[in-house]
Amino acid sequence: MDTQTTGECLVCGNETKNRCSRCLEAGLDVFFCSPEHQKMVWFAHRAVCGPGKANPPLFPELTPAELADVLTRRDVQVPALAITTESSAARAHPDAVTLANLFELHERDSFEHIAESASGPVNDCSKLPNKPLVLAHIRSACLSGSISSSVSLRPTFIIDQVSKLLSRISTHLVAHGVQPRQVTSTSWWSPLVHRLYVLAALVKLALETRDDTYMALVPRAEARLAA
């Protein structure tokens, strides 16, 4: 762990000079106050840690099953949370729109083109400028139809939760007309994703262990994210 600049530990929020050395190699400051806290969330953070994975964060590619799932849901109605009042879809359907409508309004492209371009390397944004967010919406949509009582035990729990959180954030950005055309080019994208991975790790630990330590860390991490 390197010790030059100062920031908040992603696990507990304490001020620290200790940074993840592998993420630093990728040009990103990711702070952990101790090796113990870094190890605590390593099972999740390792997916986006180090050169080639940290900055911008490298999400898993969309699986054929995930793409097929969202294609079957294209006409399913969803709450119109992200629809601006100026959009024709919002005027025609003030309470709900289809999943296809929602994707088209988020990306300003046809559902067919979005679906065709969603596979392959996630950070290749040549066809979909906000491809990482598209995948987050797809995974969030798939997750909404497969919630179970043992959700914390799903092998894909971390990426599921990160995707759900990113989908919500994107929804609010679109609703206020401030979503960047390409989030991977912004200064806040990589730090945000690392925070979400750590939060998802803490939630998983809290759900699985019911340990008071993890239960206390989750709301603190959520509060820092909202600040």
pLDDT at 80: 52
pLDDT for residue 104 is more than 90 = no
Neighbours of 43 (CB within 10 A): 12
Tokens of 213: 């330590």
pLDDT mean over 164-169:
92
Q: Which distant-in-sequence residues (6+ apart) come within 8 Å of 52 by Cβ?
A: 26, 58
pLDDT at 42: 98
Name the nearest CA neighbour of 197 among 20, 34, 36, 41: 41
pLDDT at 144: 64
φ and ψ of 141, to 5 deg: -65, -40
The torsion of the CA quartet 197, 64, 114, 54, rounded to 10 degrees, works out to: 30
Tokens of 157: 């729990």
pLDDT mean over 155-181:
90
pLDDT at 123: 94
pTM of the model: 0.86
CA–CA separation, 33 and 15 (whole Å): 7
pLDDT mean over 53-68:
92
| Pair 10, 38: CB distance under 8 Å | no
* 181-200 pLDDT tens trace: 899 999 999 999 999 999 99
pLDDT at 72: 85
pLDDT at 71: 83
pLDDT at 84: 45
CA separation (Å) from 161 to 117, 187, 209? 23, 22, 18
